[in-house]
Amino acid sequence: MEIQVAELIEQIKKEGVATAEAEAKAIVDAAKADAEKIIAEATAQANKIVSDAKAETDRMTKSSEDAIRQAGRNLLISFRESVSRELKAIIRENVSAVYSSEVLSQLIVNVVASWANNPDAEDVAVILNTEDLQKLEKTIQAALKEKLLTGITLKATDTFDGGFRIAVNNGSAYYDYSAEAVVAMLSNYLSPKVTKLLKEAE
């Protein structure tokens, strides 16, 4: 009887240890699984943070580069416009200087002389602003005395400041040599050349 009790106690001990070991193993396995899950989640979160940070850095870098490029383009455009304005001012100053001198009367005489030799041109009129006509009328008339007698007339207008216009065939055609027209023509001619030079200098 004592032997049976001892065996029973030994059996209970063995079963208790086995159960405890099984429970311990289950706890350890669960802890390992939880730890692996936590590590995986933390790794994924860390990777997402790094990826998001890289994407934001790339976005900010691209945005900064785009801003720098745009600022460079704006600066170049502003510089070109400034050069064009300065060029136009220089042209205007020089044209005004020429048109306010005795050169204007000589220009008119030369142009009218050319028109007088054109058989298709009839009723040629030289149009100047009132101030220039008063100042240059005698000089022009003296130089074009014979031609003025053959249908070439001098007329005054206040529609432009300097230079002159030629009207032919009763005003059906105009040839504009006014200061504004000459400045515009020279500016349009020179501006593309200046722009090309600026582009080549980039």
Question: Domain for residue 128, yes or no?
Answer: yes
The CATH number for 163's domain is 3.30.2320.30
Q: Is 80 exposed, middle or buried (0-12, 13-18, 19+ CB in 10 A)?
A: middle
For residues 122-133, one letter each, b for 16 or more C-beta atoms within 10 angstroms of the residue's C-beta and e for the rest, the string is eebbbbbbeebb
Question: Domain for residue 177, yes or no?
Answer: yes
Question: Domain for residue 12, yes or no?
Answer: no
pLDDT at res. 87: 78
Question: Residue 113 is part of which domain span?
Answer: 102-200
Question: pLDDT tens digit string along 107-139?
Answer: 888 887 777 676 666 778 888 888 888 888 888
Distance CA 158, CA 67 (A): 50
DSSP 71-130: HHHHHHHHHHHHHHHHHHHHHHHHHHHHHTSTHHHHHHHHHHHHHHT-TT--S-EEEEEH
Number of domains in the chain: 1
Global pTM reads 0.53
Question: Domain for residue 73, yes or no?
Answer: no
Question: Domain for residue 34, yes or no?
Answer: no
Query: In this structure, are residues 126 and 140 in contact, taking their beta carbons and an 8 Å threshold?
Result: yes
Question: Domain for residue 166, yes or no?
Answer: yes
